[in-house]
Amino acid sequence: MGSGWMGPGPGPAVVWGFCWLFSGLFSKGLACPSSCKCSSSRIWCKDLNAGISAFPVLENSADLENIREIYIANQGRLAGINDNDVAIYPGLKNLTVVDSGLKSVARRAFRKNSKLNYINLSRNKLSRLSKKPFRHLNLSRLILSDNPFQCSCDIMWIKIRQNSLIADLKDLYCMNGNMKIPLSDMQISNCGLPRVNLSVTTLTVLEGSDVTLHCDSTGTPTPNVSWDISYVVSKNVVLTNKNSASLTLMNVTFQDNARYITCMAENMVGEDQASVELIVHFPPQIIFMGSPTLDYHWCIPFSVRGNPKPKLQWFHEGAVLSESNYIWSMIHETSNNSSEYHGCLQLDSPTHFYNGRYTLQAENKYGSDNHTVLAYFMHGPEDGEEAITDPQFYEGSVERGGKEKRGEKERRGHSVSERRRVEDISLGLPRVNLSVTTLTVLEGSDVTLHCDSTGTPTPNVSWDISYVVSKSVVVTNKNSASLTLMNVTFQDNARYIPCMAENMVGEDQASVELIVNFPPQIIFMGSPTLDHHWCIPFSVRGNPTPKLQWFHEGAVLNESDYIWSMIHETSNNNSEYHGCLQLDSPTHVYNGRYTLQAENKYGSDNHTVLAHFMQGPEDGEEAITDPQFYDFFETTSNDIGDTTDDRNQITSTDVSNEGNEDSITVYVVVGIAALVCTGLVIMLFILKFGRHSKFGIKGPSSVISNDDDSASPLHHISNGSNTPSSSEGGPDAVIIGMTKIPVIENPQYFGITNSHLKPDTFVQHIKRHNIVLKRELGEGAFGKVFLAECYNLCPEQDKILVAVKTLKDASDNARKDFHREAELLTNLQHEHIVKFYGVCVEGDPLIMVFEYMKHGDLNKFLRAHGPDAVLMAEGNRPAELTQSQMLHIAQQIAAGMVYLASQHFVHRDLATRNCLVGENLLVKIGDFGMSRDVYSTDYYRVGGHTMLPIRWMPPESIMYRKFTTESDVWSLGVVLWEIFTYGKQPWYQLSNNEVIECITQGRVLQRPRTCPKEVYDLMLGCWQREPHMRLNIKEIHSLLQNLAKASPVYLDILG
């Protein structure tokens, strides 16, 4: 940002009055909003009566790119600049929103407005303002005066900027309570710029090796640390941890030699960065060697790469060629990582004596390479004439023969007699005349360039082909020269080839730009790497610039705000492009094969890589396919609806085949016949077995009692009087079951693969006739849940009360998920994990059988035994839980979590609503199939189907969807808070958006009134922002166990 970037002032507002007068002339051709005025390049909305609440949008999308200025004033209902408000105007340079109700600016508001130069947001209602919307802009002015900023760390970046720049900032204040103080006087503790600390600043490695770079940072608030790997070619992995990040380069390539790799640290105050210079040593390689060409001297061109710089040695016919005044190497070092060299072996007027094989050997301490070309300079002596082998003879010195060699006069000047004649001739500078100044050719073709000159004396004409890679021949003739390029290579694209004319008066030159068209070639495509976004790196060459098209699993991949290509054009003749396919927070639905196709009118090329971003949905989990769900976590200051953007979906093309119409007809006929037959069978079945339940389970108790019972909500279940449950169950009995199929984003257990299942896993199969249904408890997406009696399940009892969950979807995939989850649940055997008895797979529907817990879910139990129980109790008030009983409950949950962690499972939805209470205050962990219906306010709905327990989630789960044992530890801390508040909802006084803001900004729940200090300290240990700083789950269990043992637990509360 330039100086004066935040000063107050009128800016471009002065011209608006004139623009307003002529707006009618311009706006007729535009589809301008009725509340604004428009010209071909401006939009202004300042009519107080025709107020706007959202940014103006032109109806004709073709006009959007032409807008350069937007001026908005007196719009009290305009509260924010959102992500896409300004992004639709890519050419916008000046933005003014003044005297309005602006309260927020989204962090990605200007992501597509790189041309923005002037922003005026004065006299609004901004109390906070992040630097993130502005950090990539090159602003000449940012005016923020007369906004009610709150004195906080959020605006410290503005103070730092104002202190470092010369600008009039007298109107910038902030509010500290009711006191208005100048921003320059604001003092905020624990609020400072980050600082990057690197372990090394220069690192030398050998090509093909692996190396790890470490970067730490300091600063408050704790900065986010990342490595910029945009231009790194080697395969790499970045790992971040609290205030540090490590970058591991694998199989380092020479292309990263002399690469500066930058580590960046950023917090809300500002950013810092430092770079490591990577020096890659590798053996030499001669990448090009051409036949001799004639310019001023003969030249054998070559290109060599290597580091350290290779030692070059020439050989002629196998013998060492010593350099001299007549034969020498001339090297031009390129900027390609300072390890590639182009040059010539120069030969001054070689004779036939120098014909033959020329070998170049390049060598450094890591290896060597050599290459040979055949050179032919002139015919040998005719008719047996004795050859003159002394090169000095050909210099034509007067002492050696009294004659100068051919052309020597032109180089040395004129003889005395000639000078006398020149005095009588008018002298003139030479002038170069080219037949063309730009020439476009196709790769592989031959082309000849002509160059003439005028001037007195007659000038010498030559072509400078020092950097020409294609094979070339120069022919000179009096005052002209022609250059023939053979089999033109793409390496000469955008090459300027000079023609030079020189006489004794002076010189002139002019250049031909050679444009080489050639088909695209994908020269590199790497596996995905994670930095700020996921990146699939690629390098493509081609001219004209290739059109790039991405495919995912063979279907066209449409670019959007969440998936886009970012290309960096290199200086390699403007025909080589390095870039990334950027993916913003991709989920498992984006796993698969990614194909890049590069195409221009001369051909195409494609390449495919396999990408794996995250584990797929476990146990039939329903995939979240709406990318806006993930964008939500980057825009927590804005309300998010359930809208979906069709542009963000990966689409495939339907292909029709008329030849299949006959087959389709046959399928339809067969299908109709099958349906008719199936209907007849069902009718016969009903007539014969009409008294049986829909499960095929015999017995009068197997049917649902009545419609009222069936419709009863989960928290009002009453048991039948003639069942064993009458003496055991309570009115609040809740069952545990399989996570619904398909599940939501938070499955019961995460990371479930076949490797987690024991090889001897045996799922118990229960006969269908042993299950007697009592009543229907509810229905979810997976199917219905029933209270039932199960016979012959336990040797000790003839029958026991169980909960059964049915599978509605009978597809092959659903069945596979059903069996897979059954194996998982069979393996989870612990006294504090709800017991899974087995399955029934005889016929349909498929059934899972679970343990029945007498007192229902823990949240309802806590509320029923808390100080507010009198408000909910229908009879006598239940006894209130004691502190020791709360500790007893807590240590049982911790014991169950220790077991899950030992089995490498992450719960992801740990909460009191997902724990069950049995006899004698026995508590077990589970996940309810219908808990999201009963406790819907505990979840935040995203995208229409996905429900997230954000009040129990740590920052990394909210922002990055990262779920680990450490994120379960955070949730366990919230469960402790629930227990000691008798089941209150965390952050009950805040909306979901406010909760997200609190958690991501580092705020934690306050200490409950009845909570001991030792327990709250334990909660704080669970709520450390950095996952690795949180308490270990075993530590938590041990601490709770010791606290619980300190006082006895009285169980008569459950009498």
Q: Give the H/E segment covering residue 235.
A: strand 235-241
C-alpha span between 194 and 243 (Å, rounded):
10
User: 192-279 and 290-375: same fold?
Assistant: yes
**Cα 1055 from Cα 990, distance rounded (Å):** 37
Q: Cα–Cα distance between 765 and 843 in angstroms, integer? A: 13
The 3-state secondary structure of 996-1029 reads HHHHHCCCCCCCCCCCCHHHHHHHHHHCCCCHHH
Half-sphere exposure of 985 (CA within 13 A, CB side): 15
Return the DSSP state at 989: T
Joined together, the tokens standing for residue 799 give 């029958």
Residues with catalytic annotation? 909
Contact status, residue 332 vs residue 466, Cβ threshold 8 Å = yes
Residue 151's beta-bridge partner residues?
none
Query: Parallel, antiparallel, or unpaired for β 259-266 and 235-241?
Result: unpaired
781 is in an annotated binding site: yes
Task: Go through the chain and tell me how many residues it has.
Answer: 1055
Question: Using CB atoms within 10 A of its CB, is residue 433 exposed (0-12), middle (13-18) or buried (19+)?
Answer: middle
Encoded amino acid at 373, one letter: V
Annotated binding residue 777:
yes
Q: What is the DSSP string of 4-62?
A: TTT--S-GGGGGHHHHHHTHHHHHTTS---TTSEE-SSEEEE--SSS--SS----SSGG
Q: What CA–CA distances, in Å, run from 140 to 108, 115, 161, 674, 1048? A: 20, 11, 13, 74, 70
CA distance 941 to 935: 12
Specify the long-range contacts of residues 823-827, CB closer than 8 Å, at least 24 apart.
823/757, 823/761, 823/763, 824/619, 824/749, 824/752, 824/756, 824/757, 825/738, 826/761, 826/762, 826/763, 826/764, 827/756, 827/757, 827/758, 827/761, 827/903
- 239 labeled binding residue: no
Residues with Cβ within 8 Å of 47's Cβ and at least 6 positions away in sequence, in order, are: 35, 36, 74
For the domain made up of 31-188, the CATH class stated in words is: alpha beta
Report whether 506 belongs to an annotated binding site. no
805/918 Cα distance (integer angstroms): 20
Please name the fold of domain 429-514. Answer: Immunoglobulin-like (2.60.40)
Q: Please state which architecture CATH assigns to domain 762-852.
A: 2-Layer Sandwich (3.30)
Residues 282 and 308: their CA atoms lie apart, in Å, by 7
Please report the DSSP string for 694-718 in residue order. TT---SGGGS---HHHHH--GGG--
Q: Rounded to an integer, what distance in angstroms lies between the CA atom of residue 377 and that of residue 1054?
A: 108
Two tokens, residue 497: 């080839």
* Residue written as token pair 């949950």: 893
Helices (H) and strands (E) counted in the chain, each on its own, are: 19, 52
Can you list the pairs that 433-438 forms with residues at least 24 positions away whose Cβ atoms lie under 8 Å?
433/510, 434/499, 434/510, 434/512, 436/512, 437/510, 437/511, 437/512, 437/513, 438/512, 438/513, 438/515
Q: DSSP for 331-377? A: EEE-SSTT-EEEEEEEESS--GGG-EEEEEEEEETTEEEEEEEEE--
> What's the Rg (C-alpha) of the chain?
40
Q: 851 - beta bridge partners?
A: 802
Q: Report the interhelical angle of 1013-1022 vs 1033-1045 (nearest 10°).
A: 170
Beta pairing, strands 784-794 & 797-807: antiparallel
Tokens of 594: 């990614």
- What residues contact 664, with CB distance under 8 A and at least 6 apart? none
Q: Output the pLDDT for position 189.
A: 84
- The one-character DSSP state at 405 is P
> How far is it, in rounded angstroms, from Cα 877 to Cα 871?
9
Helix (H) or strand (E) holding 412: helix 408-412
Residue 395 contacts residue 405 (beta carbons within 8 Å)? yes
The C-alpha atoms of residue 753 and residue 618 are separated, in whole angstroms, by: 8
Euclidean distance between CA atoms 763 and 823, whole angstroms: 6
Q: Could you give the 3-state DSSP secondary structure of residue 937?
A: helix
Q: Domain residue spans in the chain?
A: 31-188, 192-279, 290-375, 429-514, 516-611, 762-852, 856-1054
User: What does the buried/exposed string (b/e) look like for 91-106 if buried means 16 or more CB atoms within 10 Å of the residue's CB?
Assistant: ebbbbbbbbbbbbbbb
783 marked ligand binding residue = yes
Is 780 annotated as ligand-binding?
A: yes
Q: Which residues are within 8 A (CB) of 947 and not within 5 positions of it... i.e. 6 or more apart?
A: 744, 745, 746, 932, 936, 939, 940, 941
- Residue 784 assigned to a binding site: yes
Look up residue 459 and give its amino acid: P
Question: Does CATH place domain 516-611 in 3.20.20.140?
Answer: no
Contact assessment for residue 459 and residue 503, using Cβ atoms and an 8 Å cutoff: yes
Cβ–Cβ < 8 Å for 114, 136: yes
Chain centroid to Cα 757, Å, comes to 32
Q: Binding site annotation covers 91?
A: no
Q: What pLDDT score was predicted for residue 383?
A: 40
The CATH architecture of the domain made up of 856-1054 is Orthogonal Bundle (1.10)
- What HEC string does 637-648 produce? CCCCCCCCCHHH
CB–CB of 259/232 below 8 Å?
Answer: yes
Give me 231's structure tokens. 């231009």
How far, in Å, CA of 540 to CA of 597, rounded? 10
Contacts of 236 (CB under 8 A, 6+ apart): 229, 247, 248, 249, 250, 529
Strands 340-347 and 438-442, by their bridges, are: unpaired
| Cα gap 329→300, rounded to integer Å | 9
Q: Kindly list the distances between the CA atom of residue 872 and the CA atoms of 48, 604, 862, 938, in Å, as whole numbers in the listed order.
A: 52, 72, 12, 19
Backbone phi and psi for residue 482, each to the nearest 5 degrees, phi listed first: -120, 145
pLDDT of the residue at 374: 92
805 annotated binding-site participant: yes
CA distances from 169 to 158, 845, 905 (A): 10, 72, 55
The angle subtended at Cα 46 by Cα 42 and Cα 50, nearest 5°, is 115
Q: Which residues of the chain have pLDDT under 70?
A: 1-31, 50, 62, 162-171, 333-337, 381-426, 531-532, 561, 568-573, 615-761, 777-782, 870-877, 927-936, 938-939, 941-946, 1047-1055
**Owner of token pair 């408050």:** 220
**Which class in CATH covers the domain with range 192-279?**
mainly beta
Instruction: Tell me if residue 933 falls in helix, strand or coil.
Output: helix
Architecture of the domain spanning 290-375 = Sandwich (2.60)
